[in-house]
């Protein structure tokens, strides 16, 4: 979004139209709405702004729920924004630690600042990109306790805050078609995050794939999974880390929140025999390297060396595991697998794999599935061989 597009968007008549827009979903809907808006006197730029915001608000409901209906977005800003249920957890950590004011450094469109203000904290929200800063001002306008500043987060005056939330930009500047950058190009920098954590309670949001060897020894590293997707790694430091915890896997889902914690990476349990169930650990548990503790607590064991599937006999309910009942154990032989699936009339097949070089999409096409039954095919390695497990969820 360029400055001229922003100015068109922020005119009262365009904002009113954005709020009244019915969020067209199909190309035919978009064409009809575009024609209607033009006939109502909106310019091409205004029409594009209205329809773009309608589409972004529709997508944003997954992250912001009903709040999305009064927010403004850029494509890149929405993509990089923290989900509101996750941001609420960040805010609670500061609140529990006794903070009353927090600097949100690299606030983007304002997702974390919104959650911080929502629990009664005063917020200094700093955003380097001037267009995004204006959108953050708009999104945070209902909260008078939030001050939005357009500027360099590393130059912000932190004298009046007692906590800092740092969300470095990990992509190139811009509002569309951005690309990922290396750690050395994060803004604010990780060196700045280190300096801030030395003087203030600090949380730093990073990619869940961040190099584990670069995690500071004094940080609590918390990987967060939201409805099955690992969305972030947060480094809690400066007093926000919990005593005795340096690894955590927080899993958010339909049943609420569950967390595994440990003082360090946990030791794996030995590989054992294939049982009648296979379990897929949540990605946050895998990233945090807490599979060993999870296996011990659920009476399961790894299916093969270095393979992040667990197995055992009988169901083992856990919010950290997705269970699959094993109905057939086959060698990884393509003809044998095809014959078994056809005998079972499997027409809808989910293919999962670990430790085996396989393109699931190409393999599914090769199988030429026929039938009206469902199954999950898990292709992996045990201690002895490659196997294909026909399973049901």
Residue 42 CB coordination number (10 Å): 19
Instruction: Find the helix or strand (DSSP H, E) in which 365 lies.
Output: helix 360-367
Stretch 109-119: mean pLDDT, rounded?
97
Q: pLDDT value at position 178?
A: 57
Q: pLDDT value at position 177?
A: 55
pLDDT digits (tens, 9 = 90+) for 130-175: 999 999 999 999 999 999 999 999 999 999 999 999 999 875 555 5
Mean pLDDT of the chain: 93
122 pLDDT above the threshold of 80: yes
Q: Are 326 and 278 in contact (CB under 8 A)?
A: yes
368: CB partners within 8 A, 6+ apart: 338
98 exposure class (CB count in 10 Å sphere: 0-12, 13-18, 19+)? exposed
Q: Are 353 and 379 in contact (CB under 8 A)?
A: yes
181 pLDDT above the threshold of 90: no
Stretch 346-363: mean pLDDT, rounded?
95
CATH architecture of 78-262: 3-Layer(aba) Sandwich (3.40)
- Three-state secondary structure readout of 246-271: CEEEEEEECCEEEEEEECCCCCCCCC
Q: Are strands 247-253 and 229-237 parallel, antiparallel or unpaired?
A: unpaired
Cα–Cα dist 323/122, whole Å: 43
180 pLDDT above the threshold of 70: no
Q: pLDDT value at position 315?
A: 83
pLDDT digits (tens, 9 = 90+) for 313-330: 988 889 999 999 999 999
Q: pLDDT value at position 114?
A: 97
Nearest Cα residue to 300 out of 287, 313, 289: 313
169: which DSSP letter?
B
179: which DSSP letter?
-
pLDDT band at 254 (very low <50, low <70, confident <90, very high): confident
């Amino acid at each position: 979004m360029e400055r001229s597009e922003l100015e068109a968007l922020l005119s009262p008549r365009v904002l009113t139209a954005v709020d009244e827009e019915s969020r067209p979903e199909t190309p035919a809907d978009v064409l009809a709405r575009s024609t209607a808006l033009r006939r109502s006197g909106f310019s091409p730029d205004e029409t594009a702004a209205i329809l773009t915001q309608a589409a972004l608000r529709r997508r944003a409901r997954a992250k912001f729920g009903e709040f999305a209906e009064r927010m403004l977005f850029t494509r890149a800003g929405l993509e990089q924004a923290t989900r509101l249920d996750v941001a609420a957890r960040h805010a609670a950590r500061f609140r529990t630690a006794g903070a009353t004011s927090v600097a949100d450094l690299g606030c983007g469109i304002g997702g974390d600042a919104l959650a911080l203000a929502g629990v009664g904290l005063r917020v200094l929200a700093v955003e380097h990109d001037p267009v995004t800063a204006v959108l953050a001002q708009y999104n945070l306008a209902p909260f008078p306790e939030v001050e939005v500043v357009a500027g360099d987060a590393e130059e912000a005056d932190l004298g009046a805050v007692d906590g800092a939330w740092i969300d470095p930009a990990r992509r190139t500047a811009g509002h569309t078609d951005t690309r990922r950058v290396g750690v050395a190009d994060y803004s604010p920098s990780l060196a700045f995050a280190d300096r801030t954590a030395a003087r203030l309670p600090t949380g730093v949001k990073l990619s869940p794939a961040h190099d584990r060897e670069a995690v500071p020894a004094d940080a609590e590293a918390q990987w967060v999974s939201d409805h099955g997707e690992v969305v972030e790694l947060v480094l809690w430091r400066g007093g926000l880390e919990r005593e005795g915890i340096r690894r955590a896997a927080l899993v958010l889902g339909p049943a609420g929140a569950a967390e595994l914690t440990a003082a360090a990476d946990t030791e794996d349990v030995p590989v054992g025999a294939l049982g009648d169930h296979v379990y897929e650990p949540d990605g946050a548990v895998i990233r945090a390297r807490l599979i060993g503790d999870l296996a011990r607590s659920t009476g399961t064991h790894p299916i093969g060396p270095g393979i992040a599937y667990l197995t055992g006999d009988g169901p083992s309910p856990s919010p950290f595991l997705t269970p699959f009942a094993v109905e057939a154990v086959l060698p990884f032989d393509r003809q044998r697998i095809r014959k078994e699936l056809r005998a079972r009339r499997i027409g809808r097949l989910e293919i999962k794999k670990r430790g085996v070089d396989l393109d699931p999409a190409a393999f599914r096409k090769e199988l030429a599935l026929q039938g009206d039954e469902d199954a999950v095919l898990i292709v992996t390695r045990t201690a002895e061989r490659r196997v294909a497990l026909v399973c049901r969820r």
